[in-house]
Structure 1
Amino acid sequence: MNYFIGVDVGTTSTKAVLYDEHAKVLDHFSEGYSLYRDASGMAEQDPEAMLNAVEKVIHDAGTKINFANEKLLAVSFSSANQSVIMLDHHFRPLSRVITWADTRARTVADQLKRSPEGQQLYAKTGTPIHPMSPLTKIMWLNQAHPETVAKTTYFGDIKSYLFYKFFGSFKVDISIASCTGMMNINTGNWDSQALTLAKVKANQLPTIVNGTSQAVGLTDEAQSKLGIPADTPFVYGAFDGALSNLGVGAIKQNTVAITIGTSAGVRVVTDHPVIDPQQRLFCYAVDNGLWVIGGPLNNGGDVYQWAVEHLVDASAVKNEQVDPYTLANHVIEGVPAGAHGLLFHPFLGGERAPLWDANARGSFFGLSQLHTRADMLRSVMEGICMNIATVFQAVRNLVGEPSSVTATGGFARAEVWRQMLADVLNCPVNIPNSFESGCLGAVTMAMKSLGIVDSLDVVQDLIGDISSYQPRASAVHVYQQYLPLFQQVEGLLTPAYSTIAMLQQQSSHKEG
C-alpha cells in the first residue's frame, strides 16, 4: 500500500491525516500548543512548540507505515496564513510567531488604509489593509521594536520556517506569499512599493514557489525526528482557507465555500484575479491559473460559545443532563426565524470582512421587554449567519450567482445551523462528510505535484457523501426583510466603533 500524509498547521494545534493512495482516511493525529495573549492585541505562538508538534504528528503517522514494503508518496501542507516570524542570519527565531489574530498593528493599518498608497497596494496585492496583514505587522515592528528589527536578517512565516528546518531552504508557496500584502498578484513577485513601506528587501523574504512545488532531501536531524525516509517529497501546498475550498470540491466559480469554526470564511475559486472596488474582499493567488476571492470573518463559533456560556440556564443543563450546546440548539429550534424582531451584530473580536475594522463591537438591536434568553440565543446565531451573508453577497456581486454553497466547520454538526445558513443565504447548502478538508486539499495538490492526477478537479471524486439543505420559503421571506436592516444598523454604528473601543481600553487600564 502507498500513503499520503496531509498536515494542517493551525492556530492552536497541528493536525495530520494519514491517507491511502486513493485519499481514503486511515488515521488522524493532533498535537496542541499555546496561543500567547500576554498584552492587548497580542496573539503569538512559540515556533519551537509548533515545530515539535509538526514533527510529532508526522512521526506518529509514519509509525503506521511499514517502510520495508510500503511507501509514503508525499507529505503535503496546509497552514494558517498571515503569520510573521523574525529570524537572524542563521535562521534562528528572534521573535515568537505573530499570528493572523494579532491586532497590534491597528494604528499603522488605519493610517495606511486612509492613504493613497493603501488604495494602490490593495489594487496590486489583493490584500485588504488590516492589522492581520504581514505588511502592516512589519511596519508596526519597525516602530515598536526597532532594536529587534535591526538584528533581523529574514522575515518568514510559520511554513517557510518549518521547511527551512526540514530542508535548509527558505521558500514560501505563492498562496501564503499572496496573503502577506507584499506580493503583486499580477506578476507573482514581491511588490517594490510594499517592500519600501515595510523597509524590507526582497532577499530578506522567502523565495516564492508554486503550491505543487516539492522539497526533497530531509536534513539528518529532521529525518531522525520525523522517522520517515529522507527522500520523501514534501509539497508546499497552500494556506488553509484555499485548501479547505479544494478539499470540499469548491474549485469552480459557481460553488462558494463557507467555513464556520472559531472564526469564519467565505471563498470562491476563479481562473482570473478579481479586485473589489469597495475593498471588502481579498484576492489571493493559489496556484497557476487559480485565485481565491472572498472574505475572512473574525466572529464565528467563538461568538456562539460566548452566547451559550452566558445565556444558557445552568440549572436547565443539569436537569436535562445534556451539554449546553445541545440544549442551546434545541432551544433555538423553538424560536421562529427573526427571533421575534431581534438583531445581533456579532463583532465581539473586531471584524475583518466586510468591515475591516479592528474596533468593531457587538450589539443587540431591537431588544424589548418581551424578548427572552431563547430569542437572544437565536439572534446571535442569526447574526453570525447574516454577517456571513453580507460577505456572500459581495462575492456573488463580483463573480456571479452560485449554484450552491459547500459549508464545513464545527457548526456543520448541528442541523439548526445547517438549515439556518441555507435560509439566510437563500441558496442550497451542501455539507460534505469528509474529514479535515484542508488536509484533503493538501493531499490533492500532492497528487497533482507527483503527476498522479492531471487536474485538481479529481477532488470531486474523493470527498464522499454530502448532505444537502434547501432554503425554506417562509424563513427566506423573513430573512430578506431583516438582512437589509442588519446592514443598515451596521452602517449607522460603524462611525461609533472607534470611540467605544477607546473608552473600553481606558476602562480596562483604570481597572488594571
Structure 2
Amino acid sequence: MATISRKAAEPPFVLAIDTGTSSSRAVLYDRLGRNIEGVQMQTPYRMHTTPDGGAEIGAEELLDYVKRNLDGVLLIAGNLSEQIAGVATTTFWHNLVGVGRDTLALTPVFSWNDTRSAQSAAELREKLDEAKVHARTGCMLHPAYLPAKLLWLAHSRPDVFRAVDHWMSFGEYIHLRFFGKTFCSLSMASGTGLLDQNRCKWDEEVLSALPISVEQLSPLVDTNNPLTGLRDEFAERWPALKNTPWFPALGDGACSNIGSGCVSNERIALMVGTSGAMRVLWESKNVNIPKGLWCYRADGRRFVMGGALSNGGDLFAWLQNTLRLGSPEDVEVQLSNIEADSHNLTVLPFLSGERSTGWAAHARAAIVGLSMDTRPIHILQAGLESVAYRFARILELLSAEVEEAREIIASGGALLKSPAWTQIMADCLGKPIVTSVEPEASSRGAALLALEALGIIEDIAEAPASMGRAHYPNPERHERYRKAIERQQRLYEALITNPWSAQ
C-alpha cells in the first residue's frame, strides 16, 4: 500500500525533506515506510537559467521553501508530530553552494545542469587522467560535477571564490543553518566527483588540481550519524523537532531506487522526471566502475550504478508546448495509435547537453528527416523514442555489469503520466517495465534509510514498494527499435565528438 490513513498509520514516524530541481516537499511516513495520507507539503519553483548555460537558485530562497514546507506539514500532522522519531533529508545530487564564515551562503545553489563550467572541465582533462579519475570517483570530468564547477568559479568569480570558507551541497546547508554545524554523507559526497568510492575518502589527486583544500569540505559521515538540538530560532519554530535526530542529506537518485523497491541487483530502476536516470543498487565492499556509466553510493555499504540523461520529461514538455499539441489526454491517444518509428525522423534529445553515455557537455538537440509529410505528433513521438534509445545504450552497459537484473521498475512523474511513453520504453528496452505507484519515491527512500538507522526496521527490504501496471515488450516493435537505435548512433557519431574516443 503506497499510502495509509492517519488512523491506520503505525508510529513512530519519520519526516522526510525532499528538495529537487523543480520542487521541495516535506512528507510524513509511518514505521513501515507508508506515506501518511494528506500529511505532506510541496512548493514548486524554477531554477534561474541564463543564456550561457547557467542553472541556479538562491540558497536562502530554497531554504525558505524548506522552512515553509516544514511549517505546513507539522501543522497538518497535528498530534502525530509528537511521535516523529527522526528527520530524513534528500536533495538533488551534484549541487554546490559556497558559504562564508558566518554560515550564510555567498553563492547561489548551482545545479547539476549548469553547463558554464564546460571549459573548466576541458582544462581538468588536460591536467588529470580522466579514465583513472572516473575509475576512482565514478564521475567524469564534466560540468555536472563539482571539480569543473569549482575551477570555473575560481576563474569567473575570484573575489567571491576567495571569500568562501566552505563548499557544500544544499542538504549540508540546511543542517548548517538549522544546527550551526554540518556534515556530508557518503551518499552526497559520492556524487561530487571528489570522493574515492572504494576508500570512502576525499580524492587527493583531484583536490590537488583544484584551488581548494580538504578543510573547506564537510566531514564525511555515514547515514547513522544524525544531528540533534536545533538552534533556538528553529527549536521555537518547530518544538516537536527540537531534539529529534536529523539524518545527513542523501542523494536523490539512491533514495529513489530504495523508495521504488529497487534495493538489489535483480531490479533496475528507470526514473523519468525532469531529467532521467537508470540505476541499479546493491550491497558490496568495493566496486569496479566501467567507462560510460557513473557510480555513487547510497551509504557505506550500498553502491548505486547507472547512467543519467540531462533531458527527460522536460523534453516531453518542451515539445508539447512548442508544437502546441493540445491536451495531454489527446496527445496520449495519438501516441498510442502511431506505429513504432514510422516517421522517418532521427532525434538527438540533448537540449541541455549529454551525460551518459558519451558525456559530451557541448552536445545539443537535433531533428533530422523532416519532410512535408511530418506532423507535430510525429516529432513528439520521435523525441520520446530518442530518449528511450539513450536508455537502451545505458542498459547495454549495465547488463554487462549486473547480469541478474530481471525487471525494470519505472518511476517519475513524466513517465508515469504517459502509459504510451512507458510502452515505448518497454518495446525499446526489450524488458517488462512495472510501474511504481509510490507517490514520492525519493522521500520514501530517505525515510526508509532513517528507519533502518534508528533500528525501527532491520533492513530497507522489509518495506516493499507498491507496484502498478506491467508493460510487456512487443518483439516486432523491439526489433524495429534496434535498427532505429543504430540509426541514432550514426547521427550521434556524425554530429558529436565522444570524449571517450579521444582516450
The two structures share one fold, judged by TM-score above 0.5: yes
Cα 1:225–1:41 shift into 2, 3 Å: farther
Counterpart CA distance in 1 for 2:224 and 2:474 is 41
Where in structure 2 are the equivalents of 1:63-462 lying within 5 Å?
Answer: 63-67=75-79, 70-113=82-125, 115-272=127-284, 273-278=286-291, 280-313=292-325, 317=326, 323=327, 325-400=328-403, 402-410=405-413, 411-460=415-464
Helix, strand or coil for the counterpart of 2:241?
coil
Helix, strand or coil for the counterpart of 1:454?
coil
> In 1, are the aligned partners of 2:101 and 2:165 still within 8 Å (CA)?
yes
Give the equivalent residue in structure 2 for 1:471. Answer: 473
Where in structure 2 are the equivalents of 1:475-494 lying within 5 Å?
Answer: 475-494=477-496
Counterpart CA distance in 1 for 2:235 and 2:342 is 56
> In 1, are the aligned partners of 2:14 and 2:451 still within 8 Å (CA)?
no
> In 2, are the aligned partners of 1:17 and 1:25 still within 8 Å (CA)?
yes
> In 2, are the aligned partners of 1:346 and 1:361 still within 8 Å (CA)?
yes
Cα 1:436–1:59 shift into 2, 3 Å: same
Helix, strand or coil for the counterpart of 2:129?
helix
Counterpart CA distance in 2 for 1:79 and 1:290 is 18
Counterpart CA distance in 2 for 1:488 and 1:406 is 29
How many Å apart are 1:179 and its aligned residue?
1.0
Cα displacement string for residues 248-302 of structure 1 (whole angstroms, at most 9, x for unaligned residues): 1111112110111111011111334544443x21111221221110111111111
Counterpart CA distance in 2 for 1:209 and 1:437 is 23
How many Å apart are 1:66 and its aligned residue?
4.2
Stretch of structure 1 that moved more, 398-407 or 246-255:
398-407
How many Å apart are 1:177 and its aligned residue?
0.7
Q: Which runs of 5+ in 2 are unaligned?
A: 1-10
> In 2, are the aligned partners of 1:65 and 1:71 still within 8 Å (CA)?
no
> In 2, are the aligned partners of 1:406 and 1:429 still within 8 Å (CA)?
yes
Q: Which runs of 4+ in 1 moved over 6 A?
A: none
Match of 1:20 among 30, 37, 61: 30
Aligned residues: 485
Cα 1:33–1:479 shift into 2, 3 Å: closer
> In 2, are the aligned partners of 1:254 and 1:404 still within 8 Å (CA)?
yes
Q: TM-score, normalised by structure 2?
A: 0.92
Stretch of structure 1 that moved more, 433-442 or 191-200:
191-200
> In 2, are the aligned partners of 1:337 and 1:479 still within 8 Å (CA)?
yes
How many Å apart are 1:421 and its aligned residue?
0.9
Paired residue type of 2:49? R
Counterpart CA distance in 2 for 1:142 and 1:355 is 27
Cα displacement string for residues 358-404 of structure 1 (whole angstroms, at most 9, x for unaligned residues): 21121223334433333222111111111121112121122225200
How many Å apart are 1:61 and its aligned residue?
1.5
> In 2, are the aligned partners of 1:5 and 1:18 still within 8 Å (CA)?
yes
Q: TM-score, normalised by structure 1?
A: 0.90
Paired residue type of 1:91? T
CA RMSD of aligned residues (A): 2.0
Paired residue type of 2:406? S
Helix, strand or coil for the counterpart of 1:234?
coil
Counterpart CA distance in 1 for 2:80 and 2:186 is 35
Helix, strand or coil for the counterpart of 1:61?
helix
> In 2, are the aligned partners of 1:432 and 1:465 still within 8 Å (CA)?
yes
> In 1, are the aligned partners of 2:82 and 2:240 still within 8 Å (CA)?
no
Helix, strand or coil for the counterpart of 1:379?
helix
Q: Which runs of 5+ in 1 are unaligned?
A: 318-322, 498-512
Give the equivalent residue in structure 1 for 2:71. Answer: 59
